[in-house]
Structure 1
Amino acid sequence: MADRHSWPAPALPPARATRRQALAALGAAAAACSPLAARAAPTTLQCAGAYADSLFHTRNLQQFARQASQSSQGAVQVEVVANAKLMPMKQVLAALGSGDLAMGEIFMSNFAQELPLLGVDSLPFIVRSFDDAKRLWNVTRQPISALLHKQGIRVLYTAPWPGQGLYARAPVNRLEDLKGQKLRVNNGATTFMAKAAGATPVDIPANNLARAIQDGEVDAMVTSSTTGVDSQSWNALGVFVDMRAWIPKNLVLMSEKRWAALPETARQALQAAASDAEARGWQLAQDADDAAQRILASHGTKITQPSYELRRSLDLLGERFARDWSGKVGVDGARVLIDYYAGAHKG
């Protein structure tokens, strides 16, 4: 006789599902079968932007981020954190190299001390136009990309700033016309220029420039058309010599570690967006330069091109700086300058 306790106890009847519960279950089942459920969650990449939202460089960076997201169908989301709020620019290269940061924006020549090849961007009196600056970038892209690759960093794109011109109280047709004047200096090139001209070098930060001009602390300065507008140079410096002393650039970079972790489709989307951002960035810089010069002229600034004698003096200064720089950088530096000047002769 079987033990009565060996029989399983009858199961309790299931509780009757409510209409709301039934619909929720059907919805969950449908979602699980949807193609969207199989799609991987988007990869978010933070980008350390260096400048304010209103600046054309930041607007270009934000458009790059939107395009990358759209082209990847949402697989990649680039989050631009502007105005150095994510981290100071000086920390960007190290963070990219370690993979702690996905993307970042730098002013190229700011890192010339640790990576001397990047100093080519601020060599004075080498380029005379945006076309020259673009040609210089074309011959330096590969060696700079290779140099940064060794640091674990990938170049996405570059975009320039407006060229640096000479502001003065009176016309400057020769370098000697600056003799005895207070020339604002902010790097080695302008310091040497002051000494060569017999001018008195004065160091004034950009945020105090408008007041210094108004108070007569500056007789001349080398800076961009856009900075001239920001500092209201027309209050005292009524001449602008559009000499394009140098045309510096920003680099937008990505961690190689973070790049390697992305699927090929996401990489292609980022590369295509970067290519468009570079083309757009060069045009935006020229547009900003043109707009700033129109504003300067509307306030009575006399805009001129360098005289033959002034240009010749500046060219000689440029040759000296180029020799000194290539001596520090070595073979790579000499090669890019040779390639740049060879291209000029072909043109």
Structure 2
Amino acid sequence: MKRRTLAALLAAVPMVAVRRVAVRFAVRCAVGRSVGRSLGRSVRCSVRCSVRLSAAPLLAALTSAALTSAALAPAVSMAADADALPDVHFQVVGGGSHNYTYSAVEKPFWEKTLPAASGGHVTAELAGLNERGLKGPEILRLMRGNALDVGMGVFAFVSGDDAMLEGVDLPGMAPDIATARKMVQAYRPVLEARMRDRHGVHLLATVPYTAQVFFCREPVQQLEDLKGRKIRTRGRNMADFISALGGSPVTIPFAEVIPALQTGVVDCAVSGIGSGNSAKWYDVAKHLYNLPTDWSIGFYAMGEKRWQRLDPAVQRFLQEQARVLEDRLWQETGRENDFALACNTGQGECRIHTKADMQAASPSPAERERLHAIASQVAGEWGKRCGAECARAWSGSVGQALGVTLR
């Protein structure tokens, strides 16, 4: 064995392991001396022999110890990192407590996962948006003013006069949740900079909801059937999308949708395929048109001033854990979306939501081509309203990811 190779190996082994091997080696040498004397040979010779005989097991023992040390290093490092964290407690406002992902993901994350991962140093108290008596549009202002530590909002609700935030979830662009996440990941650097520089908040994680689809009183078999119908919607972009489809957008609060459908104030209402089920819209709307207008993309964030006051170790830890939260939210929302369709129609495996008997239809391949053209048209109008800088940022991120050019 070359000296430098053994030296390098020894350097990678904890001292405890070296001592164990040294003890075994010393015992073998002692035995060698005894045998050497009884045979009338020199001690030097017997020790050399012992070294030769022990080289292989010594190397094996050292290698095993080194590998064990390497395997344990991440865990030891994580434990050390957790021990290095100062104690900090966050007041968190999450999504609506009636939402499935609030109880399935948000609550266990903030109240169990985060404290466990930090060794009890980082803790949080979570309340739903509705439990705090909030509507949604005010969440950025509250975080910016340090009225709360961490908050969850929906971009469509907080965009106000900042159209750039709407670019994360333009209607008709994402037929499935995988495409929606692709859009969000592409646009994230734009969102991070905009939220920090203009709104004074630090983006932690993105949050999807189930596909925003059509719950209708009368049958909808194709896109043409939406023409002339009064459709409950929310936000400027979705209203433009409904208008481009030939419908008449109507703004109605979520809580007033059932009576509006019952009395004919609206013919259809757009909402999450899971949210509509939870609200029992299937009692008054027997037809589901499975055309995702968007995914009601939201976020978790913290006021930038509050973020800057955090210990750097806490910043790193919180950002790492926010990725865990984000991954779980996207994964669980995807599952919820699949089950919600099965529950609303009463066909397939129904979990999470209530089984109903709605009649469902989806756009044909030819209609999807038309939808792509309509979505691009609406995106182009948004780009003009948002401005040249905004349009360039979107085209260089989401547009590039989807192969769409704003016109």
Deviations 1:151-178 (A, max 9, x none): 4321111110111122331133233x23
For the 8 Å contact 1:92–1:104, the answer to whether it is kept is yes
Counterpart position of 2:317: 269
Match of 2:401 among 340, 343, 346: 343
1:160 is matched with which residue? 208
Contact 1:163 1:225 in 2 (8 A): yes
Task: Identify if the C-alpha distance between structure 1 residues 199 and 153 changes in structure 2 by more than 3 Å, giving closer, same or farther.
Answer: closer
Q: Could you tell me whether the CA contact under 8 Å between 2:144 and 2:303 is conserved in 1?
A: yes
| 1:88-114 residue CA offsets vs partner (Å, 9 max, x unmatched) | 333322232233432111111212223
In the alignment, the residues of structure 1 paired with residue 389 and residue 209 of structure 2 have an alpha-carbon distance, to the nearest angstrom, of 28
Q: Which has the larger radius of gyration?
A: 2
Q: Does 1:244 align with 2:289?
A: no
Cα distance in 1 for partners of 2:121, 2:322 equals 16
CA distance in 1: counterparts of 2:108 and 2:396, whole angstroms? 36
Pair 1:198–1:345, CA change in 2 (3 A): closer
1:283 and 1:198 mapped to 2: Cα distance?
A: 34
TM-score under structure 2 length normalisation: 0.67
Amino acid at match of 2:138: Q
- The one of 95, 99, 107 equivalent to 2:154 is 107
* Residue of structure 1 in register with 2:123 after alignment: 77
Comparing 124-133 with 323-332, greater Cα deviation is found at: 323-332
TM-score, normalized by length of structure 1? 0.78
1:95 aligns with 142
The aligned residue for residue 172 of structure 1 is 221
299-308 or 80-89, larger mean C-alpha shift: 80-89
Deviations, residues 55-112 of structure 1 (Å, cap 9, x unaligned)? 4135423233232222222222222122344463333222322334321111112122
Name the counterpart of 1:132. 179
Instruction: Kindly indicate whether the alpha-carbon contact (under 8 Å) linking 1:173 and 1:309 is maintained by their aligned counterparts in 2.
Output: no
Q: How does 1:15-94 map to 2 (within 5 A)?
A: 42-52=87-97, 55-57=100-102, 59-65=104-110, 66-86=112-132, 88=134, 89-94=136-141
Distance 1:206 1:100, change over 3 A: closer
Alignment-derived partner of residue 371 in structure 2: 314
Note the residue ranges of structure 1 that are not aligned, 5 or more in a row.
1-37
Residue number in structure 1 paired with 2:77: none
Task: Tell whether the 8 Å contact from 2:171 to 2:241 is kept in structure 1 after alignment.
Answer: no
Identify which range, 321-330 or 79-88, moves more after superposition: 79-88
Which residue of the other structure, out of 296, 301, 309, is the alignment partner of 1:253? 301
Question: 2:366 matched to 1:330?
Answer: no
- Higher normalized contact order (CA 8 Å, seq sep 6+, divided by chain length): 1
Deviation at 1:332, TM superposition (A): 3.5
How far does residue 274 in structure 1 lie from its aligned partner after superposition? 0.7
Q: Report the CA distance between 1:251 and its aligned residue.
A: 0.6
User: For residues 338 and 240 of structure 1, do their structure 2 counterparts lie closer, same or farther at Cα, with a shift above 3 Å needed?
Assistant: farther
Report the Cα offset of residue 118 of structure 1. 0.8
| Partner secondary structure for residue 324 of structure 2 | helix
Q: What is the DSSP-based 3-state SS (H/G/I as helix, E as strand, rest coil) of the residue aligned with 1:275? A: helix
Distance 1:341 1:198 in 2: 25
Query: Shift in Å at residue 236 of structure 1?
Result: 4.5
What amino acid maps onto 2:173 in structure 1?
I
Answer whether contact 2:237 2:382 (CA < 8 A) is retained: no
Q: Look up the equivalent residue of 2:92 and give its one-letter code.
A: C
| Deviation beyond 6 Å, 4+ runs, structure 1 | 38-41
Out of 319, 335, 339, the position equivalent to 1:287 is: 335
Residues 192, 203 of structure 2: 8 Å contact kept: yes
Counterpart Cα distance in 1 of 2:268 and 2:142: 39
Structure 1 counterpart of 2:151, one-letter code: G
Bigger helix fraction: 2
In the alignment, the residues of structure 1 paired with residue 137 and residue 318 of structure 2 have an alpha-carbon distance, to the nearest angstrom, of 24
Q: CA offsets, 1:21-41, max 9 Å, x none?
A: xxxxxxxxxxxxxxxxx9997
Q: Equivalents in 2 of 1:86, 1:137: separation in Å?
A: 28
Change in Cα spacing, 1:67 to 1:148, as seen in structure 2 (3 Å) is: same
Q: Is the 8 A contact 1:174 1:307 kept in 2?
A: no
Inter-partner Cα distance in structure 1 for 2:201 and 2:248:
41
**Are the counterparts in 1 of residues 230 and 265 from structure 2 also a CA contact under 8 Å?**
yes
Structure 2 unaligned spans of 5+: 1-82, 347-355
Q: Bigger shift: 235-244 or 110-119?
A: 235-244
- Structure 1 Cα separation of the partners of residues 98 and 277 of structure 2: 18
Residue 221 of structure 2 contacts residue 361 of structure 2 at CA under 8 Å; is this kept in 1? no
Q: Which residue of 2 aligns with 1:15?
A: none
CA distance in structure 1 between the partners assigned to 2:375 and 2:115 by the alignment:
43
- Of 82-91 and 252-261, more deviation after overlay is shown by 82-91
Percent of aligned pairs with the same residue? Answer: 20
Residue number in structure 1 paired with 2:194: 147
* Residues 91 and 196 of structure 1: CA distance in aligned 2, closer, same or farther (over 3 Å): closer
CA distance in 1, matches of 2:117, 2:270: 41
Q: Is the 8 A contact 1:172 1:178 kept in 2?
A: no
Q: Offset at 1:137? A: 0.7
CA distance change for structure 1 residues 58 and 300 in 2, over 3 Å: closer, same or farther? closer
What is the CA deviation profile of residues 289-316 of structure 1, one whole-angstrom value per residue up to 9, with x for unaligned ones? 1222111111322223202453344323
The answer for the alignment partner of 1:120 in structure 2 is: 167
Match for 2:94: what amino acid?
G
